[in-house]
Amino acid sequence: MNLEFFITKRLITGKENKSSISAPIIKIAIVAIALSVIMMLFAIATGEGLKEKVREKVAAFNGHIQIYNYDNNTSDVSVVPVSIHQEFYPKFKNIDGISHVQAIANKGGIIIADDTFEGIIAKGVGADYNWNVFEEYIVEGRLPNYNGKLNEEVLLSSLMANRLQLSLGDKFSTFFLKDDNPSQTPNRRNFTIVGIYNSRFEEFDGTYVFVDIRHIQRINKWKKDEVGSFEVFLNSFDDIDAKSKEIYGATLSTLDSNNIKKKYSSIFEWISLFDFNVTGIIGIMIIVGGINMITALLVLILERTQMIGILKALGAASWSVRKIFLYNAIYLICIGLFWGNLIGLGLLFLQDKFKFLKFADPKEYYIEYIPIHIDFLVVVLLNIGVIFLCLLMLLLPSYIITRISPVKSIKFE
């Protein structure tokens, strides 16, 4: 074993190796491995980052899981109220992994401006509403305050504000139809814009206006302890399917539940395609890196044919000689991985901090810049996987060493 490492070290660091035919090919192989790692890191980090951002935005408007009366399960508008006196509110005590539960009520309405109007869903929220998930979307003004007395403060999207030609501080009128008798004169409410948000999710930005939930309760003639539904936030999105089943089993038989994966299945089917794309990129990059390493190994074997013959003549087994070249290949792969990780993770860190890479059309991806999510466990597994798969690919070409005859190889020039 000591002889194998000694010869490997000489093969790697020997001065004669720097001027040999294999030197530029080895450098190309190292560069290929480094570039492959950079591409794979970018594919994984951007794919996971985009998935995470889309999930966050959908959850910001809906929570991860919704609990509502069975009679409301076909509509986004709250018709039949639910009492807030539930075992799971304000906090789930018998289910782990839940970070927050909040009560909301939705009501369809029409905003009337000077020269136009827009249909909206007024999302009534209260003091228990988790505004933390919304802070990054605020582009003007502030978040409304519903902790004190009933007020007219609302949060409007920039998309809706542009359509209605409204700006921060403006007042507007909203008309709500009466559910029990739509033919009667609609309820009118006047609101003041204290904040404007932009999530770049047109499906939500063009629909929701955030108002005090007490307005919805009064319009619907509900009691103070009646709401439209509950939104549940999880600690981890990965648990959404399991927690949906637990929550459904832990609530009353008169209540139903749903999660955003089912409610917005088309969106989550779309982002699930990212995994397929990332897998394809990783596979292609490993093949490219592996082929370059195979080429470098074959050239190295060809250049060192006489040395192989001498080692065999001295009694070295074929597998021992193969290991010398495989050790050398692992060393070269590790050099490529080092530079690939250093450059790749460095660029990803800069993108995460400064967001200099942006989408040409943000509307298609619901976000302006390319988001980054780095899981260092995945990075470690990726590096281990690259070493293993490249080494596996090198086993077959290294078999050519067993076919080299000591007598002929010593004469080889």
Going residue by residue through the chain, which has 413 residues, state the pLDDT in tens, using 9 for 90 and above: 455 555 555 555 444 454 455 678 888 888 999 999 999 999 999 999 999 999 999 999 999 999 998 876 656 787 889 999 999 998 888 899 999 999 999 999 999 887 888 999 999 999 999 999 888 899 999 999 999 899 999 999 999 999 999 999 999 999 987 765 656 678 899 999 999 999 999 999 999 999 999 999 999 999 999 999 999 999 999 999 999 999 999 988 889 999 999 999 999 999 888 888 898 999 999 998 888 888 888 887 777 777 777 777 777 777 777 888 888 888 889 999 999 999 999 999 999 999 888 887 777 888 888 999 999 999 999 999 999 998 888 888 877 777 666 656 565 55
Give the type of residue at 198: N
**Which stretch of DSSP H or E encloses residue 17?**
helix 15-18
C-alpha–C-alpha distance, residues 340 and 387, integer Å: 13
Question: Phi/psi zone of residue 92: left (φ > 0), alpha (ψ -120 to 50 degrees), beta?
Answer: beta
245 neighbors 232 (Cβ within 8 angstroms)? no
For 190-217, b/e burial (b = at least 16 CB within 10 A) is ebebbbbbebbbeebbebbbbbbbbbbb
One-letter amino acid at 358 equals K
Q: Tokens 């003041």 belong to which residue?
A: 192
- Which amino acid, residue 50? L
pTM for the structure as a whole: 0.84
SS3 153: strand
Rg from Cα positions in the chain: 32
Phi, psi for 252 (deg, rounded to 5): -65, 155
